[in-house]
Chain A
Amino acid sequence: MDNASTISVSSPVVDFKEVTFQFLEDNSPVFTNISFSIHAGERVVLYGPSGCGKSTLLYLMNRLYPANCDGELSGSVALFHKDASSYAAGEINRRIATVFQDPETQFCMPTVEQEMAFTLENLHINREEMEQRITTTLDLTGLSAFRHSVIQTLSGGMKQRLATACALLIEPQVLLLDEPLAHLDPLTAHQYVEWLNALQLSSDFTVVVVEHRLDLWGSFFNRALHVKNSGVFSIEANPTRSPIQFPSRTSTVQDVVALEAQNISVNIDGNRLLSNISLSLRKGEIAVLAGPNGSGKSTLLKTICGILKKTDGQFKSGRTIPGYVPQSPEHLFVTNDVGQEISFSNHANADEISDIMHSLRLLEIQDAHPFAISHGQKRRVAIGAMIADQRPVLLLDEPTSGQDSEVLIELFHLIDSMAKEGFTVLIVTHDMAFAAAIADTVFLLNNGELTGRYENEQLWQQTELLKTHHLLPPIGAASYV
């Protein structure tokens, strides 16, 4: 075992030497003269902030680039001691498998079994071996019970496991993962990492992960390569990160009720989605609404702001109804530039609008198309539009999902400053580290019923309660190996 691993560690399976890569439509290269290598059996993370080109690196490793883009590559990319460009189409995909970020866009067949067969048919594997490989891989990955399940009915976490299982089917030497946790909630992400850890120990493939949030991975990795635009990547052995440290904030709750819901129930198409929900929010309060997927969190937000009709109960919320920012803020956009987007509803005068533009830092992008700006900027535009509508209560649906630490800290300050100005904010999130840092109160929702209202500090000791709501306490990174 020791001998075998020392021999394999010494031979690089991926070797980049002085690689420069540029998209033809860009003015400057994504990378200039970068060098790094990855050895067999390693667990390597390519680490860097969003937008630094990590995914591009991954696509160079599985030959999706430069074959599928208008890009110019110089320097040497060697895969298994051979120049990457010398491989025939599809040849490298028999040895290097990839799992992508978005669990929704990796499948083309209706059922789990058919999806796995798709991969094996691509490789022209004979019928008996297909059968046998599918059975073994399902056993290995613990997915045997789902063999005949329809993929669309699986949860995001299960889909990501299936994508990994489809990758392992080809018995790859290298497994590439492109931010595999981005769309999963923390508990599911944690379970996925544990699962991958056990798989790697039993099958001994090389793992290369592109990631901007190391804290979710505990001590999974042997090495971190710090991705930068040029030069040799620096290496960090056994990298770990503690969860993001948010600044502390003082509560700004005022003793004025901003929104009160009494016995709200919602039925849609004969299904009871919410029953008997009563809650009250005060001016300047930041509240978090948490619970498992499908428990009715988004339905509650949409009912409070009047998008969905309530079946029963009543709201008291002063003059105007609350504002709502969906998980994809661009869904709110209806005009062609940021300035028009803010002034669209005509509820605010010119002074108020320029105030909003100033405080949300939108002046420098006011002529940009709202679809062409970054995700953080989109959210600020959406919030600005809601404030300009004179809505004193803001409901944010999953603003933390898939965001890196920089965006999360920016979001923290944004919400904090809005509470200081007297806005009331209700946030749906799975990220309990974020919730613990920002919330005054936490509401838990399960099966369409409100299971409790907790002051921030009281909740985090109750591990069992959190677990039944599919949540993870904010502190305590797990350890592996």
Chain B
Amino acid sequence: MSSRTWLHDMNPALKFILVIVSMLTLAWFFNPWTPFLVFVGVILIQLSFSRINWKVWSLFMIPIGFSALGYLWTTVLFAADTSGNVIWVWRGIEVTDQQWHTALSLAFRVFAFSSLSLLFALTTNPVKFVMSLMQQLRLSPKLAYGVMVGYQFLPVVKEEFIQIRHAHRLRGIGQEKYAWQRLLSMRRILIPLLASAVRRAERSAFAMEARGLTGERRSIYYEPLHIGGRDWLLAIILIFVLIASSVAGFLLS
């Protein structure tokens, strides 16, 4: 069971690179099998090495499933390339095997890409990710801590958004009958929200600088992040899934 925490403990920068590399590789394959096998492989990896909440995963997959279906039927019906053998005719619409092939490939590609993104998103702590980008990929501390401050701001900004909306409710704004009117009145919330965000950003920048952040690279970390043997093992597994799917896809089509 302990292997179920591996993906969560994996070095975020390495995981990030692997996901990016997998996506770029997938972009070169136009057969339906490779993306399908990657999709299945990623799910198997998550099943064995992570403790993600599958309910959340399924919720994310619902809209993705719809867009995949959308790709499927639009490609089947409206594809520019109509070569190949006709395999199916319905009310004058002819579907060729070539079209069907491309459509399936596109739909599975959507699934493969999103399952890779979810593999990363659902097992990675954003704070650790930024720290790892700074330590492993030499992201500038100026940028890294800028992102960190922004991340800490999110709940504060949300709270302020609620406060402003409450105050506006008193003046009869945000209660309009139609959705488009309410949408227009949002700009009235955005101005005070942005104004205070700018003020707050300046104060934060001053506080960081007064505490000695000069933007130069740091030499010692309090919580150093390393890439260990287990990280490489997971990397090898993912690369194996990728290569196996590519080869299988090539052979099967």
Q: Which A residues fall within an 8 A CB radius of B?
A: 59, 62, 64, 68, 89-90, 93-94, 97-98, 100-102, 104-110, 113-114, 117-127, 130, 151-152, 163, 166-167, 170, 302, 305-308, 323-324, 326, 328, 330-334, 344-345, 371, 385, 389
Contact = CB atoms under 8 A, between A and B. Distances in A.
Contacts, number: 130
A105 B196 CA distance: 12
Given A110-B152, A130-B222, A332 B167 contact: yes
B92 to A, nearest CB: 55
B93 interface: no
A393 B199 CA distance: 33
Interface string B118-146: 00000000010000000000000000010
B206 A152 contact: no
19 contacts: A89-B214, A100-B210, A104-B200, A106-B204, A107-B207, A108-B149, A119-B211, A120-B222, A122-B212, A123-B212, A152-B155, A170-B212, A307-B167, A307-B169, A308-B166, A328-B163, A331-B192, A345-B172, A371-B195
Nearest to B196: A328
Interface residues of B, number: 42
Nearest to A306: B170
Contact of B170 (A93, A119, A324, A371): A324
A332 B170 contact: yes
B243 interface: no
A305 B148 contact: no
Given A109-B127, A126-B220, 15 more contacts: A90-B216, A94-B212, A100-B210, A108-B208, A110-B127, A117-B222, A118-B211, A119-B211, A307-B167, A307-B169, A308-B166, A324-B167, A331-B163, A334-B173, A371-B192
A100 B206 CA distance: 9
Contact of A106 (B166, B173, B207, B213): B207
Interface in B210-253: 210-214, 216, 218-223
Given A107-B152, A127-B220, A93 B212 contact: yes
B129 to A, nearest CB: 13
Interface string B6-42: 0000000000000000000000000000000000000
Closest 5 CB pairs of A and B: A117-B222, A122-B212, A90-B214, A331-B167, A98-B210
B37 to A, nearest CB: 38
Contacts of A123: 212
Nearest to B201: A105
Contacts of B179: none
Interface centre among B203, B205, B222, by most chain A C-beta atoms within 10 angstroms, is: B222
Contacts of B208: 108
Nearest to A305: B170
Contacts of B210: 62, 64, 93, 97-98, 100
